[in-house]
């Protein structure tokens, strides 16, 4: 369109492209700065964590008497495994007193989804089985409240650990707390009519007690209880991963072909079957095989316990020691009615695993039948934290099995 004088009017002023020209570089700068701050914070956390880990390992070794025996294979396995795995557990924040909250810091620290801020991060490399342990322990009941038993007769807290006499100890505390379920047992204590945690007010300074067990024997005991029996394995579903050891009937693959049994060639050979289980159990960690040091925060609280017993050959004598330490009386009576320990103490008998009682560990009598040197090495790796931090000794039969295999 032209003016009356024939000239062309000027068009609307053109916008200067400063918006796009400057906005994109500014956005890039802001994003880069944000990522840089994340990387800086991430590396500061890594540096702090690594310093803690280094100090932690040194402190642990200062309290361990056997770690430096380079000629002993068991000690070497435990030391190296601990350095690569459990030594990387981070300290608790002040506002995270509970076990699960505390361990969650380490779980998130090693979570693959959280560590890819930078592809060149310097997170320590951890074995795959420790990665799956961190994944599973927050979901499989490792921090369940049922690990804590308590009573006021006498005032006592007890840390109950799977495969360390849990069933019997639950019975002990339910008997001690019988009046907590009166006068209406079902209404007050539920279907089991059992109060292993007292409903009465507990003194703040009530002592803590725990029984520990040799980790290798406990590992075998868990296998015998949860995997060895076809019936138990199918009913309880604790022999995990179930897709391998207890798959659904006629489980099919993606093309509709029925999977064959993955263990049918080894299930009739005790050593092969147990070794196979030990090899693959970390694919899905079951509660009954989690290290004892995880229960009740023992890996950082064991020094706070007034009584630490051992469920080994001297188990019955350890029961007597516990009863005496906490005043005898009702506690001693109930413990004896459950374990019958006074008869053993009177006859000076040791717990060899051959007594036909539910609470008596049968694992010591069967280690030669099920264990191989290979399974021993795996067990020591998985459970190194129990040996390093709980003061447990590797049994001589395991050391000898390794020596025989190496000769």
The structure tokens listed for 304 are 């706070």
Task: Give the per-residue pLDDT at 39.
Answer: 46
Task: Give the per-residue pLDDT at 52.
Answer: 52
pLDDT at 13 exceeding the cut of 60: no
Would residue 76 count as lying in a domain? yes
Task: Give the per-residue pLDDT at 230.
Answer: 86
Q: Domain range spanning residue 78?
A: 26-137
Would residue 35 count as lying in a domain? yes
Q: How far apart are CA 150 and CA 165, in angstroms?
A: 16
**337 SS3 class:** helix
Would residue 87 count as lying in a domain? yes
Longest dimension (CA), the chain: 129
Q: Of all residues in the chain, what percent carry a pLDDT higher than 70?
A: 76
Task: For the chain, give the number of residues.
Answer: 407
User: Quick one: DSSP state of residue 94?
Assistant: T
The structure tokens listed for 386 are 């129990």
The helix (run of H) or strand (run of E) holding residue 131 is: helix 128-137
Task: Give the per-residue pLDDT at 7.
Answer: 60
What are the DSSP calls for 11-45, one per residue? -PPPPPTHHHHHHHHHHHHHHHHHHHHHHHHHHHH
Task: Give the per-residue pLDDT at 10.
Answer: 57
User: In whole numbers, what is the pLDDT of the chain averaged over residues?
Assistant: 83
pLDDT, tens digit (0-9, with 9 covering 90-100), for 207-216 = 999 999 999 9
Would residue 292 count as lying in a domain? no
Would residue 388 count as lying in a domain? no
Neighbours of 354 (CB within 10 A): 10
Query: Angle at Cα 68 formed by Cα 66 and Cα 69, nearest 5°?
Result: 75
pLDDT at 173 exceeding the cut of 80: yes
Would residue 19 count as lying in a domain? no
Would residue 279 count as lying in a domain? no
Mean pLDDT of the region 6-13: 56
Give the residues across from 150 on adjacent strands. Answer: 157, 197
Burial class (CB in 10 A: 0-12, 13-18, 19+), 372: middle
pLDDT at 403 exceeding the cut of 50: yes
Q: How many domains does the chain have?
A: 1
pLDDT, tens digit (0-9, with 9 covering 90-100), for 81-114 = 999 999 999 998 777 677 888 899 999 999 887 7
Would residue 403 count as lying in a domain? no
pLDDT at 131 exceeding the cut of 70: yes
> Would you call the peptide bond into 241 cis, given omega within 30 degrees of 0 as the criterion?
yes
Task: Give the per-residue pLDDT at 356.
Answer: 47
pLDDT, tens digit (0-9, with 9 covering 90-100), for 345-371 = 988 876 665 554 544 455 667 999 999
Closest CA to 228 of 246, 213, 214: 246
């Amino acid at each position: 369109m032209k003016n009356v004088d024939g000239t062309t009017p000027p068009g609307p002023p053109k916008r200067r492209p400063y918006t796009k020209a400057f906005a994109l570089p500014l956005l890039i700068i802001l994003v880069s700065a944000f990522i840089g701050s994340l990387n800086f914070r991430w590396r500061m956390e890594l540096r702090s964590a690594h310093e803690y880990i280094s100090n932690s390992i040194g402190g642990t070794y200062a309290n361990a008497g056997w770690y430096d025996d380079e000629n002993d294979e068991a000690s070497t396995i435990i030391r190296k495994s601990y350095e690569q795995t459990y030594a990387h557990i981070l300290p608790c924040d002040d506002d995270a007193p509970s076990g699960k909250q505390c361990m969650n810091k380490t779980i998130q620290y090693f979570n693959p989804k959280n560590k890819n801020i930078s592809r060149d991060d310097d997170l320590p490399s951890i074995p795959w089985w420790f990665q799956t342990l961190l994944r599973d322990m927050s979901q499989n009941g490792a921090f369940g409240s049922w690990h804590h038993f308590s009573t006021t007769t006498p005032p006592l807290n007890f840390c109950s650990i799977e495969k360390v006499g849990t069933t019997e100890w639950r019975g002990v505390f339910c008997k001690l707390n019988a009046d907590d379920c009166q006068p209406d047992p079902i209404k007050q204590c539920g279907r089991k009519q059992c109060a292993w945690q007292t409903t009465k007010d507990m003194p703040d300074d009530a002592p803590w007690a725990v029984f520990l067990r040799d980790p290798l024997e406990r590992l075998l005991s868990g296998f015998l209880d949860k995997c060895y029996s076809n019936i138990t394995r199918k009913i309880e579903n604790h022999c995990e991963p179930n897709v391998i050891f207890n798959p659904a009937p006629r489980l099919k693959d993606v093309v509709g072909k029925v999977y064959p049994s993955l263990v049918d060639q080894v299930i009739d050979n005790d050593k092969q079957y147990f070794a196979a289980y030990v090899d693959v159990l970390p694919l899905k960690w079951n509660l009954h095989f989690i290290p004892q040091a995880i229960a009740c925060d023992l890996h950082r609280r064991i020094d706070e316990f007034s009584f630490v017993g051992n469920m080994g050959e001297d188990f019955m004598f350890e029961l007597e020691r516990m009863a005496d330490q906490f005043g005898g009386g009702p506690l001693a009576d109930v413990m004896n009615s459950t374990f019958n320990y006074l008869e053993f103490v009177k006859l000076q008998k040791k717990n060899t695993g051959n007594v036909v009682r539910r609470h008596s560990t049968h694992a010591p009598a069967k280690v030669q039948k099920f264990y191989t040197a290979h399974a021993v090495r795996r067990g020591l790796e998985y459970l190194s934290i129990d040996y390093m931090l709980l003061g447990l000794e590797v049994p001589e039969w395991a050391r000898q099995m390794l020596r025989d295999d190496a000769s």
